[in-house]
Amino acid sequence: MASLQYILKRLVLMIPPFFLVMIIIFLLVRLLPGDPAIAMAGDRASDADIQAIRERLGLTQPLWTQFWLFLTNTIQGDLGRSILMRTEVMDVIIQRLPITLFLALYAVALSLLIAGPLAFVAALNRGRWPDTLIRSVFQVGLSMPVFYIGLVLLTFLAAQLRLFPVGGYGDTFLERLYHLFLPSMTVALYTSAIIMRNLRSAVIDVLDAEYVQFARAKGLPNSLILGRHVLRNALISTVTLLGLSIGNLMSGTLVTETVFAVPGMGRLMLEAIFARDYPLIQGLTLTFAVLVSLVFLLTDLFQARLDPRMRLQ
């Protein structure tokens, strides 16, 4: 019962930020330079044709009326019709969303596989050469932008060595794992550097805690201490950091999808911005906002699972 109340409380707290995001999305899209009616009609269209398109898109109505229509239609699941794709925005999102989700989850999995073991190795050897080596290597990855990492991997592993394809998505699950390995690794190398540094510090703090020293004094095996006491408590701060890094992860997939020609939502977002496609930009941005909010909710739930005291907050 307490868990259900905690979930309901978190869901209610998501409503005001969601409404604020809708206002920001609506206003920012209309601050973009250019006229979507001209982009849709073409340079040779007459003024009458452009005016007709503006009326069909609702751009001639007052701003507050446009926002009210945007709000009510969004609540009803109607995100409008894309100017660029010539189809419903919801259909486009349903088609592209699985690709971006697969890429993001793939990157998170690789980040945890890379950062987790190395963070423990560095923490258990703090001050010695393995710790220094691991932190130095990850510092290099942290200092490079995501697009540069992608270009390096694309140049050497795909173009020169031909170990991986330069783009695409694949049809089957195994093909997608193969095609999206380089894009996912590009995002994972940056994210894993942040996770490793945080997890290493958390493990060191827990290792110095009194209850861990007491467990060692009782003669408990080191593997049991690391698994039962150290890992569980060290993951609390790391889960928080991973949840907060989702925004960077989404922006990383946006750049990565463009570099590796992955047909996901990030690449489509750039195309929609250049085409001044108001409905598509609003729909994609709103989808990203919902995904981030859901990730924050899952982060809170996982934190409450690791530390029951979080449910009282």
Give yes or no for a contact between 59 and 51, defined as CB atoms under 8 angstroms apart.
no
**Whether residue 255 sits in one domain with residue 110:** yes
Report the chain's C-alpha Rg in angstroms.
24
Boundary-marking domain end, from 52, 75, 98: 75
Q: At residue 39, does pLDDT exceed 80?
A: no
Q: Domain for residue 10, yes or no?
A: no
Cα–Cα distance between 57 and 276 in angstroms, integer? 13
Q: At what angle do helices 278-306 and 231-244 cross, to 10 degrees?
A: 170
Give yes or no for a contact between 242 and 108, defined as CB atoms under 8 angstroms apart.
yes
**Whether residue 192 sits in one domain with residue 106:** yes
Which range has highest mean pLDDT (107-111, 165-169, 272-276)?
Answer: 107-111
Does the CA dihedral 290-291-293-297 come out positive or negative?
positive
Q: Domain for residue 267, yes or no?
A: yes
**CATH code for the domain in which residue 243 is found:** 1.10.3720.10
Cα–Cα distance between 85 and 302 in angstroms, integer? 38
Give the pLDDT of residue 313. 52
**Whether residue 107 sits in one domain with residue 60:** no
Q: Domain for residue 23, yes or no?
A: yes
**Whether residue 296 sits in one domain with residue 161:** yes
**Whether residue 184 sits in one domain with residue 63:** no
> If DSSP states are collapsed to H, E and C, what string results for 109-126?
HHHHHHHHHHHHHHHHCC
**pLDDT-based confidence at 122, cuts 50/70/90?**
confident
**Whether residue 148 sits in one domain with residue 93:** yes
**Whether residue 224 sits in one domain with residue 171:** yes
Percent pLDDT > 90 in the chain is 0
**Whether residue 96 sits in one domain with residue 46:** no
Q: Domain for residue 210, yes or no?
A: yes
Which range has highest mean pLDDT (42-56, 122-136, 198-212, 245-259)?
Answer: 122-136
Q: Which domain holds residue 66?
A: 18-75
**Whether residue 188 sits in one domain with residue 299:** yes
Q: Domain for residue 1, yes or no?
A: no
Cα–Cα distance between 213 and 221 in angstroms, integer? 12
Q: Domain for residue 266, yes or no?
A: yes
Q: Which residue has the higher pLDDT, 60 or 121?
A: 121
**Whether residue 43 sits in one domain with residue 181:** no
**pLDDT-based confidence at 3, cuts 50/70/90?**
low
Give the pLDDT of residue 1. 46
Q: At residue 126, does pLDDT exceed 80?
A: yes
Q: At residue 69, does pLDDT exceed 60?
A: yes
Give the pLDDT of residue 195. 86
Chain segment 171-191, per-residue pLDDT in tens: 788 888 888 898 888 888 888
Cα–Cα distance between 1 and 272 in angstroms, integer? 45
Give yes or no for a contact between 199 and 234, defined as CB atoms under 8 angstroms apart.
yes
Percent pLDDT > 70 in the chain is 88
Give yes or no for a contact between 303 and 62, defined as CB atoms under 8 angstroms apart.
no
Give the pLDDT of residue 31. 73
How many structural domains is the chain composed of? 2
**Whether residue 135 sits in one domain with residue 67:** no
Q: Domain for residue 6, yes or no?
A: no
Q: At residue 310, does pLDDT exceed 60?
A: no
**pLDDT-based confidence at 141, cuts 50/70/90?**
confident
**Whether residue 299 sits in one domain with residue 222:** yes
Q: Domain for residue 236, yes or no?
A: yes
